[in-house]
Amino acid sequence: MNSTLKTPKPVALTIAGLDPSGGAGAIADIRTFVALGCFPTAALTSITFQNTIGVFGVSNQTPETVCAQVDPIIQDYVVAGVKTGMLPTAEIVSEVARLFRDSELPAPVVDPVMVSTSGHDLIGDDAARILRIELLPLARIVTPNIPEAERLAGFKISNEVDMRSAAEEILGLGVRAVLVKGGHMKLAMRDQDSAQAYDLFMSQEGTKLELREDFVDVGEVHGSGCTLSAAIASFLAQGESLEDAVRKAKNYVTQAIRALQFTTRLGHGARPL
C-alpha cells in the first residue's frame, strides 16, 4: 500500500490569560489557531474569574511558572507563530521578553491587553511601562484597540487623524508594525455616524494600509481582539506576509462578527466571538 506522510500543521503558541467562560484569552486563541489550520499550544499568565458580564478577580502566575510552561514547548516543537495577550505584571512582561530574546521563538504578535470589555483593568502601570520598553521592540506587530493605543501613545484618540498620530507614536517605541483598531471609536459614535469601521496598519518600512469594513452593530463583542491577534499569528505561522496576514485576519474577524447577527445570544453580557 502506498502511503504519503502529511506535512504537520504549523505550531502556534499563545502566552495569555485564561478566561474560563471561553470568550477571550487563551481559549479564544486556541479556537482561532484550530479554525485556521494551526496546531495550538498555550502558556497561561493569569487565571481570571469572569464571564460575558464582567471580571470578578484574577490570580496571576509567577514569571517562573510562565517560563516553566513555555520551555518544554520550545524544546519539543518548532513554533512557527506566537501571540501574547494578557501580561499582568512587570515581572511577567520582563520574563516573556527574555524568552523572545534568548530563544528561537519567532517575533510575536503582541495584543497589549490592558482593559477588559467590561472595563476591568488587567495590567498595572509598571507592567505597561516594561511592555513599552522591553517587549514592543521585539514584536512583529502590536494590535492595540483605541483605549490601548491611547495608553501606549499617551494622548486621547477621537478621530482617524488621531489614530494615525498614535500609530506613528507607537512605531517610535521600536515596534516593527502597528495595527490600531478603530472598533471602539466607531461603537462610541454609532448613533451619530454611519461610516465604516476603520483599522489602520503602519510599519517601519513605510507601508500603510487603511482597512475599512461596513460596521456591524451587534453590541459589545467579547474576544474580538484576542481572535484578531491569534489569526494574524496563525497566518504568519503559515508563511503569509505580515500585510496579507493582517488583511486575512481582519476578514476572518469581520465574518465572525457578521455571523453573530444570525445566532442566538450566548450569555447575558458582551457577545462572545
DSSP the chain: ----PPPPPPEEEEEEEE-TTSSSHHHHHHHHHHHTT-EEEEEEEEEEEE-SS-EEEEEEPPHHHHHHHHHHHHHHS-EEEEEE----SHHHHHHHHHHHHHS-PPPPEE----B-TT--B-S-HHHHHHIIIIIGGG-SEE--BHHHHHHHHTS---SHHHHHHHHHHHHTTT-SEEEEE-HHHHHHTTTT--PPEEEEEEETTS-EEEEEE-----S-EESHHHHHHHHHHHHHHTT--HHHHHHHHHHHHHHHHHHGGGS---SSSSEE-
Going from N- to C-terminal start, the domains of the chain cover: 11-262+268-272
- pLDDT range class, residue 119, cuts 50, 70, 90: low
Q: Model pTM greater than 0.85?
A: yes
- pLDDT range class, residue 264, cuts 50, 70, 90: confident
- Find out whether 94 and 85 touch, Cβ atoms under 8 Å: no
Angle between helices 160-171 and 146-153 (to 10 degrees): 50
The residue type of 162 is D
- Given this model, what pLDDT does residue 214 score? 80
- Over the stretch 3-17, which tens digit does the pLDDT of each residue have? 688 889 999 999 999
Across the range 66-91, mean pLDDT stands at: 97
Average pLDDT, the chain: 91
Percent of the chain scored above 90 by pLDDT?
76
Across the range 106-112, mean pLDDT stands at: 98
- Given this model, what pLDDT does residue 190 score? 46
Architecture of domain 11-262+268-272: 3-Layer(aba) Sandwich (3.40)
- Over the stretch 28-68, which tens digit does the pLDDT of each residue have? 999 999 999 999 999 999 999 999 998 999 999 999 999 99
State yes or no: pLDDT of 191 exceeds 80.
Answer: no
Q: Which residue has the higher pLDDT, 249 or 114?
A: 249
